[in-house]
Chain A
Amino acid sequence: MPNLEHPAYPAATLHHLESLVPCRESQVSMLLSIFGERQQFSFPSIFIYGHTSSGKTYVMQTLLNTLKLPHVFVNCVEYFTSRLLLEEILIQLQSRSSATEQTSQVSCDTFNDFVRLFKQAVASRELQDETLYIVLDRAEQLREMEANILPAFLRLQELTDRNVTVILLSEIVWELFRPNIGCFEPFTLYFPDYSIGHLQKILSQSHPPDYSADFYAAYINILLGVFYMVCRDLKELQHLAALNFSKYCEPVVRGEANERDTRKLWKNIEPHLKKAMQTVYLREISSAQWERLQHDDGEPGQLKGLSAHTHVELPYYSKFLLIAAYLASYNPVRTDKRFFLKHHGKIRKTNFMKKHEKTSNHLLGPKPFPLDRLLAILYSIVDNRVAPTANIFSQITSLVTLQLLSMVGHNDQLDGPRYKCTVSLDFIRAVAR
């Protein structure tokens, strides 16, 4: 384990920092050496990437807060337009520089304005000589904004001529960011996934006050044994740990086992956790419901999950319309005559199916079909006569709004509309029953 060392910061602070970011020491020390001392210019832009919940945001926040470095932290999903994003950065800057002064309304439409206002904001601050860090979380959103935003952020130090470093946090690799026209290459830093050992260590750190750390660590060990196969998300695991811990403690509370009786405790909790994996982890039932169940000692079987309610009740003709749409989507046009006409004539068995049709149509997905074909199939599958009233047409539209059908390429006003059937075979089977 590398101990954090840096001449610019007191050892106690560094030690505290190290305790806050377990399993991320090497990344932190790397960042510290790039940052250098407070007043030193740092690398203009740093790109940090890693999988979901590999501690990118947490490490950055802890680092900047513990060392009290001046910074601005913005989530790009939340500020979804460039204008909102730039204004948010300026607002945070203003509120940082002068707590007493009322923040005035900033309006910043372009990056040009931003650079100007940014200079003003920095100039009014006392800490002009310190490096300012702008952290852009979920930076992949920047790609959806105007084309100049990302390259400009990468060169912000140069553009503003101020001591500023932009840090981008993202879940995807830098190669997917690089614009066609080229740009300033940031320093890239990778946060690897936590290993099972790391997870164990991190999760065990936050044990409840009423129980010993060892007891909780044993619990985490069992939990990871069950969930590590499906879930490596630290937050999710922590959530699951908190949800199920009371069940784990049950034998101890009732006095049936003591804290060291690992085997007994394991027997008690293991089936419970497996059940949790099938229900609460998938959000089939909510965590609140899960807790209530645990509290009342009820069987999770009584509570039906979301996917238990798959049945959709449809009006009579809607059912037929949906079935007709399904047939139209998955059968080739040539077979219509054979399936839906009484006297369709003989079909030679040989080479009836062309080669490419031998692959299952279900693998290929639904094909679009015109409205008239849908209606023709409908008329032939409904026993009695169907009048093509407006009600039938409005049902097609409502099936589209229910996302059971979808309309394809409706920009052509001259042709009739074309649809696709979006439901699965199982659904159609249930409807047809």
Chain B
Amino acid sequence: MSTCSVSKGCFVFKPSPKKRRVSQKTVHFGERKDSGDTDLQFVTCQALWNQIKQELEQIQEDLNKQLLDNLESFLRRSHSEFQAKTTEWTYRMKSREIPTAALVLGVNVTDHDLTFRSISEVLQQNVTPYIALLEAKDCTGIKNLMQKLMGQLMNCYIDVDSLEDEDNVQVSHNRIRCSMTSLVNWYEGVTKKTSSETPSKKRTSSSRHWLSSPIVVIFKDMESFTTKVLQDFIVISSQHIHQLPLVLIFGIATSPMIIHSLLPHSVSSLLCIELFQSLSCKEHLSTVVDKLLLTTQFPFKLGEKVLQVLINIFLYHDFSVQNFIKGFQLCIVEHFYSQPLSILCCQMADVKTRVNSLSHEQCENVRRLPSFRRYVEGQVSENQIALLTADNYLKEVVQKLLEDLHVYHENYIPVLRCLHVLTSSLPKYPLGKQIRELHCMCLEDQVWETEEYESALQLARMLNKSDLVNVLQQCVEIFVSSAVKEFDQTVEKLKEFLTQFQKLEVAEAFQERDVSVSSQKELQKKTDLYHLQKSLLELKESRRSKKLTKFEMLRFEVVDYIDGLVRSYLAPADHKTLHEVVYFNTPSVLREHLNAAPRIALHTALNNPHCYLKAFSTVVTAAEGPDAASSDQVDDIIHARFIRAVSELELLGFIKPSKQKTDHVARLTWGGC
């Protein structure tokens, strides 16, 4: 593994789950309960992941569409104007700038690779075959940059024109002179060839590229490029812009101001910079959460703590959606690996056959599940015996329970969305701004018992009419689009509320006018100060104790109705029987893998020489196989080697003894050393 950073620091390598899976299987074979269904577990896991991966790709594509479309039209526009109107006066007088797209991508650098890959793919398909992707680490000097650029461009030329004229391009890179002139010559040669070729022959490959395709040079990480290299490159290419239709794309992680701080005015005046902004990573995450977790499409679910860990890593540490997805993948693998019953975590259609083919051992596993035990305890005694002894009966019940669980999810999601619609229109967002926060709360505990929920409902009871109607309309849409039969009635009810509100509107308009007119008349009648004061007080009094208006009554009714929905459908998942089958809820495993703490580990190791020795011997004997390391007693020779190595390291200054006092027991036993 390697990192893209040349600087010293600490890098985390996410364990590649598949590899780990294999190694664990071989090394710690005894650890897990082998149910004989390992293959099935593996296959289910793979199938699920592939499905999720496809979905993710689709999401990515949809999210990038806007950006890509803009970029594409920019590229098409950039040189066509000059080619079309070279004779006009203005175009002769204007200095020809290099069209440049400043692409602001956000600080989540790990996600950029994927974005750039899709950008270059789309551009390659629709705009131009000539694309070069440059990274700062490859371009320490202008020479390296030119080499890289020419290498990439001339290779892509081979790709497009198949292999028929290989001899032409087989010039080794050392012999190509890395200068712009050779690039210009190459470009002239290529374009001449494509235009002179018979159109019928070339239609398939290059018909979508227009006659003079621009050369797109992408600087992936603008911040890391040195000023000198960028300046030189821009100055050089601006001199050849007439022969070589270049377009630059700057990938910017921080802010477009970096262009001005990297390039002096004399250089930036050679560019024609337009700004493009990609979707913010938070929005991206919301979409991913929405499409992966808040859907019944995938049987696998994340438990509250696990989801919290993943979201915290995202918000606190890296803003990287890719890492979030990697974490999610790890959860899937871990779940299917550690939970033998995960074979039941499949599409509803397969559940029946899978349940029926459960082995006796697997049935025992089911009986051992805490949630199932709770369920059994709630049954009458004959039923209990049947559940605990008869496998066939158990299978029937399990199937039914799994169906219940599925129905629970089907209901849960629309109701959750409704509650979110309601609470996200409240001031200060007592239940969170994002639906994922609400989701976490609901998973954690019975949401209606929390204080936040209480205050949210109170605020909801004070919503004005237009907001409330808006919320109701959205709720109706959600329920209708969810297409769950159970909610037909709910939809009816909500629509009824809406019509009532409409009626109110008409009625109230009359009433209010009456009230205001009459009170004003009274005020006008009484002229002396005393009476005026009195009547004002009365008016106030009456307003306070005034009976609820119709609107307020209706508002209470609506809020209560939604409250009822929440109470009946948003029960936390770990109250449900067999939730262990589909929920992954061991955050400790995840933390162990994703939140590595190298400093703490090193510190404890170095403070305890025995640990240090053990680690040393493990490392030394690792090559000899696992058996050698397992013996508790450390070999004398290794011990001696260790002591010698330590003193050598001390001499070199890499380690030094701490001033910590020796434990008195140790001092008694070993003396002063």
Residues of A within 8 A of B (CB): 52, 75, 77-81, 84, 87-88, 105, 206, 208-210, 233, 235-236, 238-239, 241-243, 245-246, 282-283, 286-289, 304, 306-307, 309-318, 387-398, 400-404, 407, 410, 414, 417
Contacts and interface: CB of A to CB of B under 8 A. Distances in A.
B669 interface: no
A238 B255 CA distance: 30
A315 B7 contact: no
A84 B274 contact: no
B104 interface: yes
A309 B315 contact: no
A389 B596 contact: yes
B319 A77 contact: no
A245 B90 contact: yes
Nearest to A316: B316
A77 B7 contact: no
A390 B596 contact: yes
B95 A78 contact: no
A245 B104 CA distance: 33
Given A88-B181, A286-B272, A313-B280, A307 B12 contact: no
A206 B93 CA distance: 8
- Ordered nearest first, which 8 A-B pairs have the shortest CB separation? A393-B10, A397-B9, A242-B93, A390-B596, A306-B256, A208-B89, A391-B317, A286-B272
Contacts of B600: 387-388
B391 interface: no
Given A77-B236, A78-B239, A239-B93, A407 B7 contact: yes
Given A306-B260, A397-B9, A87 B177 contact: yes
A288 B95 contact: no
A430 to B, nearest CB: 10
Given A289-B274, A402-B254, A313 B106 contact: yes
Contacts of A307: 256-257, 260
A414 B653 contact: yes
Contact of B10 (A242, A306, A394): A394
A233 B267 CA distance: 13
B109 interface: yes
Contacts of A75: 236, 239
A391 B12 contact: yes
A394 B12 contact: yes
B249 to A, nearest CB: 14
Contacts of B277: 309
Contacts of A390: 10-12, 595-598
Contacts, number: 189
B95 A239 contact: yes
A80 B11 CA distance: 36
B74 to A, nearest CB: 9
Contact of B268 (A105, A283, A395, A401): A283
A314 B109 CA distance: 12
Nearest to A311: B255
A239 B97 CA distance: 10
6 contacts: A208-B93, A239-B95, A287-B94, A307-B257, A316-B316, A402-B109
Interface of B: 5, 7-12, 77-78, 81, 89-90, 93-95, 97, 99-100, 102, 104, 106-107, 109, 142-143, 175, 177-181, 221, 223-224, 232, 235-236, 239, 253-260, 265-266, 268-269, 271-275, 277, 280-282, 313-319, 594-600, 653-654
B95 A395 contact: no
A316 B315 contact: yes
B94 A402 contact: no
A313 B314 CA distance: 13
Contacts of A242: 89-90, 93-94
Given A306-B259, A387-B597, A403-B258, A238 B107 contact: no
Contacts of B89: 208-210, 242
Contact of B274 (A243, A286, A417): A286
Contacts of A309: 104, 255-257, 275, 277
B598 A393 contact: yes
A391 B280 contact: no
Given A84-B178, A312-B107, A387-B595, A283 B273 contact: yes
Given A238-B95, A288-B274, A315-B315, A388 B178 contact: no
Nearest to A288: B272
Given A242-B90, A316-B316, A403-B258, A79 B179 contact: yes
B655 to A, nearest CB: 11
A345 to B, nearest CB: 24
Nearest to B603: A388
Contacts of B319: 313-315
B452 to A, nearest CB: 20
Nearest to A81: B143
Contacts of B235: 77
Given A81-B143, A316-B316, A318-B107, 10 more contacts: A283-B273, A288-B78, A306-B256, A309-B104, A309-B257, A310-B255, A313-B282, A391-B318, A404-B254, A410-B8
Contacts of B653: 414
Contacts of A318: 107, 317
Nearest to B254: A312
A54 B12 CA distance: 55
B5 A401 contact: yes
Contact of A286 (B11, B93, B273, B598): B273
B460 to A, nearest CB: 30
A395 B224 contact: no
A52 to B, nearest CB: 7
A401 B106 CA distance: 13
Contacts of A396: 9
A75 B104 CA distance: 33
B321 to A, nearest CB: 12
Contact of A403 (B104, B224, B597, B599): B224
B599 to A, nearest CB: 5
Contacts of A241: 93
Contacts of A402: 107, 109, 223, 253-254
A45 B369 CA distance: 93
A400 B7 contact: yes
B271 to A, nearest CB: 7
Nearest to A387: B597
Nearest to A210: B89
Nearest to A375: B599
Contacts of A80: 142-143, 232
B597 A389 contact: yes
B246 to A, nearest CB: 14
A208 B90 CA distance: 8
A397 B10 CA distance: 8
A417 B178 CA distance: 37
Contacts of B254: 312, 402-404
Contacts of B317: 315-318, 391-392, 394-395
Contact of B221 (A243, A315, A387, A401): A401
Contacts of B181: 78, 88
Nearest to A422: B261
A311 to B, nearest CB: 7
Contact of A394 (B9, B104, B272): B9
A88 B12 contact: no
B280 to A, nearest CB: 7
Nearest to A283: B268
A53 to B, nearest CB: 10
A391 B14 CA distance: 11
A417 B9 contact: yes
A52 B270 CA distance: 14
Contact of B272 (A210, A287, A310): A287
Given A75-B239, A77-B236, A208-B89, A398 B596 contact: no
Contacts of A389: 595-597
B583 to A, nearest CB: 25
Contacts of A393: 9-10, 598-599
Contacts of A391: 12, 313, 316-318, 594-595
Given A306-B260, A391-B318, A417-B8, A236 B269 contact: yes
A306 B273 CA distance: 9
